[in-house]
Each structure stands twice: as C-alpha cells, then as structure tokens.
Amino acid sequence: MGKHIITPTLPTFTIPATAQIESLTPYYPPEKKQAVIAEIKQELKVQDAVLVAHYYVDEDLQQLAEETGGYISDSLDMAKFGHQHKAKTLVVAGVRFMGETAKILTPEKRVLMPTLEAECSLDLSCPIEEFAPFCDQYPDHTVVVYANTSAEVKARADYVVTSGIAVDLVKWLNAQGKKILWAPDKHLGHYIETVTGVEMIRWQGSCIVHDEFKNQSLNELSHAHPDAALLVHPESPADIIAMADVVGSTTQIINAAKALPNKTFIVATDKAIFYKMKQAAPNKTFIAAPTHGEGATCSSCAHCPWMAMNGLHNLLTVLKTGENEVFLEETMRQKALQSTQRMLDFARDHL
C-alpha cells in the first residue's frame, strides 16, 4: 500500500495555541456565569433559535445545548438535527465547516456561529484552489472527502463521509470497481486502507490535535495504568492506532466507554469529549492521551484551539447582534448537498 500516495504542496497556516486562546476567554465568577447563561437561554427563545454543539467545545456550551432542547454530536448529526428542528435559527458551536454543513442541509434557516474565526486544520490544509486541480489529474477516480472540509471541497467531491461511515462506504465503492481519491486526513485515509485493503490516492492533511499524540508517552501512560483501555480516534497516527483497544468516531468512542468493562480509559481524541463520556459512564475514569508537551508547551494540549474559541461570551453576542451568519453561494451549496446526500442515502440503504 501507499505506492500511489501523492504529496501535494499543502498550504501553511498559523495555528493558535489552545492555552493562548483560553487565556483570552473572559472569566465569569459563578454568579455572573449563571446570569450570562440565563440571558442566553432567554435570547434563544426570543430568536426562535436552537443551539447545536460539537463534542469538542467547552462543557458549558454542551450543557447549555442540553438544557435548552439543543443537541450535542458530531458535525453531520448536528446538521441533521438542525435540519429537522422547527427553530428558524440554528446556532452552531464548533468550527466553520460545521456551520457550513448546517447551511448546506438547511438553506432556508439562518445559521449563526459564536465565531467565524474558528477553523479546522484539516479544512485549512485542503483549499479548493489546490484540491480541484489535484482531483482533475485523476478523472477516473471517485472523490471521497471527509466531513472536515469546506463547502467548496464538498462541492468538488462525489461523496462526503464521517469517520464512522468511511470504512463501509469505501468497501462498497471498491466492490463496484471504483478507484478512490481520498481527502484530506492522511491518518484516517491510512486507517481506511489498512482495514479495507483498498488502496487510495490520498491527500496529506492532518488534524493538529490527533497528530500530537505520541507513541512513547502513550506507552508510558499505558504502563502506569495497565488496566485502562485505550480508545483512539482514527485521525491519529498509525502507531497510536496500532496500540488501541478500540478505534472509532467520537460517538463510537463514547459508546465504547459505556460498553466495555474497564473502569479506566485513556482517550486519544479531544478531551472536551469527556463531558459526554462521563454522562455515558459516570463511574469510570478518563485520562487524556499525552501530546508532545505539557501544559502550555504543546499546541493543542489535547483540545482544539479553534474549538476553544467558542464561549458563553461570544454566544451571547451573536444572539444579540445576529453577527457571524453563515452564507453559501447557491450553486456551490447544491453541489455540496449532492455529495452529502449520497452519504446519507448510503447510510440509509446499507447500514
């Protein structure tokens, strides 16, 4: 495997440090925090809005979504929930491509985000200006892209996938004799190749959070907790995946924590997922897999800096002002909808 891997020229971009982002977030003493939360709840009612939050945002936002009839999940489930909800406004707490996905599925609704500056390294690593000509080199390949991409990249793709469905869809396409071009996550792409035996042309992007997990430090942590099960997201490097007891999407990781008999888990994904893991398995212990540094010396510290940009302060602001609305050009949105809908149809018919 891997002989057809093409390494395009990936763009460079600035990665903010999680510690830096968190240091800029306003601190609310308990009384003030409760007042802000109460004001947000009132604004959600006034604006006929529902809050959908990703597993990786701050637990204050996840809890607020639950308390107000909103939803916490992965990016596609967030968008599907918003599509089905009667609210006229969707407030998406996550990163920019998640707001775009909500707009792709629900163009008639207003989609707001606490900040439009919250990016994703996978999205940033795969700009349409580079990706489209790359795809054009392989006109006989079916283009499959991960959900962590821009609306423009989804519009260029034949299929959009989540990590939970990627293996099944690639197997299905391969059974039909399809050649596959995969983007953007190189680690998830390698994992899919390993599991399915299907060789793909792969874009070489990566997630800054999962890319930081290191084999040596993880080995040391595992030896210190010999009874702990290791749960790993497939965006992680191959040597981390090789150590895993369970490899899965965010939802699959949460379900594994509930189902497995282990009392302790080492978790190789964004540690903000612990909010839902503790709900699913309240009597169990969760430990974040180590990154290459400690404290502020690492880039992500097992928490996405762009996810950390979402907070109570800018959530309240966007509800009051209507700022940070997501807009998509309609022709491009319709093309992105086609590739997304193909995945939804596949899930409905085959899973």
Q: Widest CA span of the chain, in angstroms?
A: 61
The H-or-E segment that residue 268 falls in is: strand 264-268
Helix, strand or coil, per DSSP, at residue 215: helix
User: Do 193 and 224 belong together in one domain?
Assistant: no
| Residue 4 maps to a domain | no
Instruction: Give me the chain's average pLDDT, please.
Output: 94
User: Do 151 and 194 belong together in one domain?
Assistant: yes
User: Do 85 and 101 belong together in one domain?
Assistant: yes
- How much is the pTM? 0.93
| Residue 5 maps to a domain | no
User: DSSP assignment of 5-57, as one string?
Assistant: -----PPP-----HHHHHHTSPP--HHHHHHHHHHHHHHHHHTTEEEEEETTS
User: Do 146 and 65 belong together in one domain?
Assistant: no
| Residue 284 maps to a domain | yes
The H-or-E segment that residue 132 falls in is: helix 128-136
User: Do 116 and 163 belong together in one domain?
Assistant: no
Q: What is the pLDDT of residues 273-326, one digit of tens each?
A: 999 999 999 999 999 999 865 544 567 789 999 999 999 999 999 999 999 999
Q: In whole angstroms, give the CA distance from residue 225 to residue 342.
A: 43
Q: What is the predicted pLDDT for the residue at 10?
A: 77
Q: What is the predicted pLDDT for the residue at 296?
A: 42
User: Do 52 and 136 belong together in one domain?
Assistant: no
| Residue 3 maps to a domain | no
Q: What is the predicted pLDDT for the residue at 1?
A: 41
| Residue 178 maps to a domain | yes
Q: What is the predicted pLDDT for the residue at 8?
A: 66
User: Do 110 and 126 belong together in one domain?
Assistant: no
| Residue 9 maps to a domain | no
Q: Cα–Cα distances in Å, from 71 out to 65, 94, 112, 163, 278?
A: 6, 12, 15, 19, 17
| Residue 81 maps to a domain | yes
Burial (CB count <10 Å: 0-12, 13-18, 19+), residue 336: buried
State the CB neighbour count (10 A cutoff) for residue 88.
Answer: 12
User: Do 200 and 275 belong together in one domain?
Assistant: no
| Residue 7 maps to a domain | no
Helix, strand or coil, per DSSP, at residue 187: helix
Share of the chain above pLDDT 90, in %: 86
**Rounded mean pLDDT of 120-141?**
96
CATH number of the domain at 149, please: 3.40.50.10800
User: Do 225 and 196 belong together in one domain?
Assistant: no
User: Do 222 and 202 belong together in one domain?
Assistant: no
Residues 6+ apart with CB under 8 A from 115: 309, 310, 314, 318, 324
Domain of residue 128 covers 122-207+344-350
Number of domains making up the chain: 3
**Rounded mean pLDDT of 33-39?**
98
Q: In whole angstroms, give the CA distance from residue 281 to residue 228.
A: 14
Q: In whole angstroms, give the CA distance from residue 91 to residue 82.
A: 9
Q: What is the pLDDT of residues 177-226, one digit of tens each?
A: 999 999 999 999 999 999 999 999 999 999 999 999 999 999 999 999 99
User: Do 62 and 146 belong together in one domain?
Assistant: no
